[in-house]
Structure 1
C-alpha cells in the first residue's frame, strides 16, 4: 500500500462527502437501503477509532419525488422549495439510520458566507468540534433553502474540502457514482479502441496531463470537474483525498485500497492563510507592476504602495483583495491594511513620501498567499 493510502486509512479524523446519486433516485427520492449501507461503513470506521464528519448531498434530490417533480429543478425558487422538503427527509433518514447504533446526529447547514466570513467561520468550527466531543455525528449540507447563486459554494465537493480544513481533518473521502479519476470518459472507447485509464495516484500537476473532466448528472450539481477541483483544493491545504465509488464505501473507509488518491502538500496552510486563499470572498483588486508581482508572488514580500498601479472595487481595512498583474491575471490574495480610498491616494508612491500613519505595508507578508 502506498504512503498516501496508508495515511488515509490511518487518519484519526476524516470528512466523508456522499453525492446525491449515492442517496437518491429521481423517481423514488431517498434510497434508505443505500443510505443504511453507507451508515454501516461510516459506523465501522468510527468504531475503528476515527472521528467522522459527513457532508451529505441529496437535499434537493430528496425533495423532488415528494413534491411530484419530474426532474431536478433549474429555477432558484423551486430548488429552494425542494431543498426545504428534502433537508427534513435527509436529516431524518440519517438520524434513523445511525440510531441503529445509538448514535446521535446533528445537522449543520452552511452557506458560503459561513465560510468566507471570519466570525461565522469560527462559529461553524466550534459547532463541529463540540458535536465531535459530545459523540454526535455531524451531517453537513449546504443550506440550499436560503443560498442564492451569488452566495452558494457551487457544489458539495468544494464544501467538503472547505469543511475538511475547517475541522482540521486528517483526510477527505469523496464518494459518488464514479470509482476514481480517469484520463477520459470510462464509458466510451476512443477511435483507436482505447478505453480511459484509471489514475491511481495524483502527486502533482504532471499526473493530470491529458485528463478531461466532465460536469454533473441529473441529480447533482457536481461532476468529475468539481471533484478534481475539490481534491486539489484539499490537497493544497495539506489534507490527502480519496475519490471512490459509494458502492465501495466499506473498502474505501476500511483501508483506502480503491479509487484515486491525491497526495497532500507537505505543509498544511494555517487556518488564516487557507481562509485568505480559498474561503474568503475578494472585495476588490489591486493591480501590481512586474516588480511587485515578483516580490509578493515569488518571494512572499510585503506589498508596498510603490508597486501598485491601480485599485478596483470598494473595500475596507481587513478585507481580502485579489492582487493581479497588468494583464489582469490573479497572482495572489491578501488582507489589506487600508481602505480602498486611502490606497487610491497611495498608488505608486514610495514609503518615505507618505504620511507617517500610511507607512505600513499595504498588505503584510503574513497576510499574503500566492495563487
Structure 2
C-alpha cells in the first residue's frame, strides 16, 4: 500500500462518518473511485437506509472513468440484493480493476463481495486503515458481531464526579453548549435509555431537539422500570416520540403501561442482556445510556458499555450523588480501565470521550 492509498482510504472513512445517524439499521460506508490514471473520479457515502450505497453513489459520479480504476471502500462491498442491488456487482459492471477494502463484512447475509470480485479478476486488497474504519462504524459492527446494540454512556458531572448536589438538585450542572451536544448525541442514536429513577426524579422528555432531523425513524425512548412505576403523567409517555417501557416479568403492570415488554429480573432490576436482545430484535443498532448512576454501574459491571462521553463542569460540590453507582469493583486492580480518545472544550465545560481498553465479552 502506498501513501496515496492511505490518503484515499482516509477520505473514504471521512465520507462514511457523514452518514452517522441516518443509515441505521445499515452501516455507514464511504467510497472513493479513481480512474485508470489515478485521479479521483467519484466519491460517495451511504446517507440513509434504503438509499443508494456508497459504491453506487461514487460510481455514478465517476461514470465511464471508473473503468480500469480503483475503488476504496470502508466496508467490504455487499454481495446480496436487499432494498438495493449488490455493490460487488455494481463494481464489476463498472469495470473497476482494483478494490481496496478496510473491513470485512461480518454480516453473513451480505458478506462475500471480496471473493466474488476476486473470482472475476478484480485485484482485491483488504485491511487498509481497518482501525479507523472500524471506529467510524463501531456501532453497526458491534450490532452485527455481538448481536446487541452499541452502548454509549453519557454523563454530566462536576470535577469531583457529582451528578447532583446533596439536596438533589442537578439542573444545570453543565452549560447550554454541552446540553446542545447531548441532543446531537441523541439524534445520532437509535434509542435513549434511562432507569425509572431518572423518570421519577427529573421527568425528562428524552427527545432529540436538533435543527434538522438526522434520521428517517425517530429515536426510541427506553425506560428500564422493573417495578412498573412509571407514572401515567410522565413525559416519556407522550406522543413526541415512541417509547418502550421494560418491566420485570413478575411486575404488577398498571393499565397505562399495558404495552410494556416483560423481561427477566436480575440483581434487583431488569436483566440487561435480555433488554439488549430485545432492542437488537427491534433493529436498534445504537443506544445512548443517560439515566442514573445505578443503571450505569450495572451496564459497566455487565461489560455492556462500549464508549463513554462525559461532560465535566468546572465546579466542585464535595457531596451529593455520584455520577456512577456500584460497578462491581472491590479493589483498584478491578477498575474499569479506559483509553482517552478525545478531550475537547465545550463552552466552559470539558467533553471527554473514552473507550474500554480491551473489548468486553459480549
- With normalisation by structure 2, the TM-score equals 0.32
- The structure in which a higher percent of residues are strand is 2
**Could you tell me the TM-score, scaled by structure 1's length?**
0.31
